[in-house]
Amino acid sequence: MPIEIKKEIELEIAHVLFIDIVGSSKLLTNEQSELLRELNQIVRSTEQFRAAEAADKLTRLPSGDGMALVFFTSPDAPVRCALEISKALGDQPKLPLRMGIHSGPVDEVIDVNDRLNVAGAGITMAQRVMDCGDAGHILLSKRIADDLAQNSKWRPHLHDLGECEVKHGVRINIVNFYTDGIGNPATPEKFKRATQTRAAAPSTRSTNLRNPTLLAGALLAAIALAIGFWFFSQRAQRSTTASRVATPSVEKKIAVLPFKPLLPENRDQVLELGMADSLITKLSNVREMVVRSLNSVRKYGGLEQDPLAAGRELQVDSVLEGNVQKSGDRIKVTARLISVVDGSSLWANTFDEKFTDVFSVQDAISQKVADALALRLSREENKRLTKRYTENVEAYQLYLTGRYHWNKLTPPEITKSIGFFKQAIDLDPTYALAYFGLAEANRSLAINANFPSQDCLPQAKAAAQKALAIDPMLAEAHASLSFCLIWYDWDWAEGEKEAQRAIAVNPNSAHGHYALAHVLSDLGRHDQAIAEIARARELDPFFLLYGALEAMMLQHAGRNEEALAKLQKAIDLDPNFWVSHLELGKVYTEQRRYPEAIAELTKAKELSHGNSEAIASIGYVEAVAGDTAKAQAILDELKTSPHYIPPASIALVYHGLGQEEEAISWLNNACDKRDVWVTLLKVDPRWKSLRSHPGFISILKRVGLE
């Protein structure tokens, strides 16, 4: 029975890779078939092809001597696939390919075989882009290149070629994508011919102008043209300026503020912060939008907070704010989307529902925000905008309570959050977000709370893997898993892949860029790491941790003055964030400004309520500054502490005292206990004098850093 054609055409944005075997038409039929067979085999073996097909997010269209791959995943999926194909072609010199990539609208159609298929301008334009290239070229439309340029990973490989005239006289802007050894850096022949044609045109005119009569006429025409051009340019300039004002930016930046109570005496801060958290999670799945994280907005939860002032501070285009009140089995929500530029209301509504319908309220708000901002949503984005991670209201409330405590980021509160996440999971074992919360809480203990890695990182890894088994598109869970893989398993290759998967799922995931930056920095790939952490900070500029760790990575790269400038700005923004003082103390240590280093590290110790890394760093500075008595006292304090102290902290003070064999012994102990801090040994400059020691080299090899 033929499939019934739908009455309405439903357009979606697809990301298309069009592939063509150059010169195939000149070959014999059996030779063409053999090349196509080899191409199909290469394409099917790529990770991007397999992943998209497994997720039912790929449509394949044969095209004679090539094919079109239509991805409904992320904009960089066709680029990643093209790179995989190009790498595989290193062993296939007889298979010359050219590739074109474009993002554009497609719609479902019924093909001649009565099968559901896709067609549309998105596919046609990808073919037009490909037609502009020669063998080896990977060409991109300007539209998809602009999307990729938002990611520092792709930006260096995008080379603008200008306009190319394609079928029916249409002109399109083309970008050449190539890296060292992949792609074709040469200018395509079509562009060369167009340049030669333009260069030849003036010579004909100059020959005609040798005639004096023609020359005089030409001068008069030129004067008239100049006058006309001046008037036209003034008009065009005004038009362009107006257009710039009216045209929205590619990335729309939005902040979802903590909701406020309708009645101040009936505050429910868990629900108020939780409503914002839930909407942030939903809206963060839209690639055209950058959503400020909960960590950045939670300080704006005051009853008198001006949403426009918050929006300006957060550097966003619009603010979603509102009120929420739970009374018995009912919930009342008022939501408003406000333009930060002029304070105008873009959308507003009130919902008065049973509390069991809270998920429907969140779905409706998310949809209306997307509509009000005129966002172009792909099929996957539409699904995730209204995705419900649980239908169990009690589990949802427990999850919100866990997030509320976790966001305080102190060891007792993190520990408390774990209990709530576990209760939520007990009520709904398929609650992916609750598993992600459990993963993040355990991961946070390992780095913040003087907590044995063996007692929390395996739990964090298992929770992240469970979250991804339920929902592979949860970008933040990929980032959490990345940290577990490098901090505990020392599996650097898989850790990097998981961070990249987080970014592939959501290019605007600051957490994903942060995770990738950590992997790259620890491995000593400093330039790449700094680009990734800068992107994380750009996406979430008011999350203090990103600013502090950007400075750490700059310091690890030997760029101390830049790190100093970043930290001074971070401390101006919030003088009570202890990690900023910790990193500033380390920079001063490297600059041998020991009194200032001790002052900053002491602030870090006090603000963190006794973090062992801050205490050990003070001991190290006292030792290298020559006060061995104070350093020894700190060492004794660490060794006799009733709390768990990471062995790497004790090793650092021994190293400062010049007792290298003791330092090596404690570092081996740190490896035995899977101490997180050993992952920084390759790049932390405090260890550089020990890096030629055979025992230290052995430790680096053990951790996978050598």
* CATH placement of domain 12-195: 3.30.70.1230
416-427 pLDDT, tens digit per residue, is: 999 999 999 999
What confidence category does residue 92 fall into, taking pLDDT thresholds of 50, 70 and 90?
low
Burial of residue 615 (CB within 10 Å: 0-12, 13-18, 19+) is buried
Q: What is the DSSP string of 73-130?
A: S-TTHHHHHHHHHHHHGGG-TT--EEEEEEEEEEEEEE-TTS-EEEESHHHHHHHHHH
Q: Tokens 């576990």 sit at which residue?
A: 422
AA identity, residue 584: L
Instruction: Tell me the CA distances in angstroms from 231 to 224, 226, 227, 238, one per residue in order.
Output: 11, 9, 7, 11
List the structure tokens of 123. 């596919």
pLDDT in tens, 286-303: 888 899 998 889 888 887
Q: Which residue has the tokens 């038409």?
A: 25
Q: How far apart are CA 518 and CA 528, in angstroms?
A: 10
345 pairs with which residues across the strands?
A: 338
620-645 mean pLDDT = 95
- Alpha helices by DSSP H, listed for 574-611, are 578-590, 594-607
Tell me if residue 171 falls in helix, strand or coil: strand
Helices (H), 258-352: 269-283, 294-297, 307-314
Q: Are 562 and 336 in contact (CB under 8 A)?
A: no
Q: How far apart are CA 669 and CA 633, in angstroms?
A: 21
3-class DSSP state of 455: helix
Q: 261 phi and psi, to 5 degrees?
A: -75, 150
Residue whose structure tokens are 């190319």: 164
Identify the three-state secondary structure at position 542.
Answer: coil
Confidence grade of residue 108 (pLDDT, cut at 50, 70, 90): low
pLDDT at 288: 84
User: What is the C-alpha to C-alpha distance for residues 460 and 456, in angstroms, rounded to an integer?
Assistant: 6
Res. 3: pLDDT tops 50 = no
pLDDT for 120-167, tens place per residue? 777 888 999 999 999 899 999 988 888 888 787 888 889 988 888 887
Predicted local confidence at residue 238, as pLDDT = 36
User: 594 or 354: which carries more pLDDT confidence?
Assistant: 594
**Pick from 507, 506, 502, 495: which is nearest to 152 by CA?**
507
pLDDT of amino acid 240? 32
Answer yes or no: are the C-beta atoms of 45 and 34 closer than 8 Å: no
The model's confidence at residue 449, banded by pLDDT at 50, 70 and 90, is low
Measured at the CA of 440, the angle between CA 486 and CA 270, to 5 degrees, comes to 170
The pLDDT value given to residue 207: 39
Query: What is the CATH T-level fold of the domain 412-428+439-506, as seen in this structure?
Result: 1.25.40
Q: Whole-angstrom Cα distance, residue 611 to residue 145? A: 45
> Among candidates 127, 154, 151, 120, which has minimal Cα distance to 141?
127
Q: Are 679 and 703 in contact (CB under 8 A)?
A: yes
Q: What does the alpha-carbon distance between residue 198 and residue 404 come to, in Å, rounded to a whole number?
A: 64
**DSSP state letter for 180:** T
Is residue 6 very low, low, confident or very high in pLDDT (cuts 50, 70, 90)?
very low
Q: Which residues pair with 252 in a beta bridge?
A: 289
Mean pLDDT of the chain: 85
Listed range (105-119, 186-200, 507-521, 624-638) with the worst mean pLDDT: 105-119
Q: How many CB atoms lie within 10 A of CB 506?
A: 23
Which one is predicted more confidently, 527 or 204? 527
Q: Are 320 and 343 in contact (CB under 8 A)?
A: no
pLDDT over threshold 90, residue 192 = no
For the segment(s) 254-385, the CATH number from 3.40.190.10, 3.40.50.2300, 3.40.50.10070, 1.10.1270.20 is 3.40.50.10070
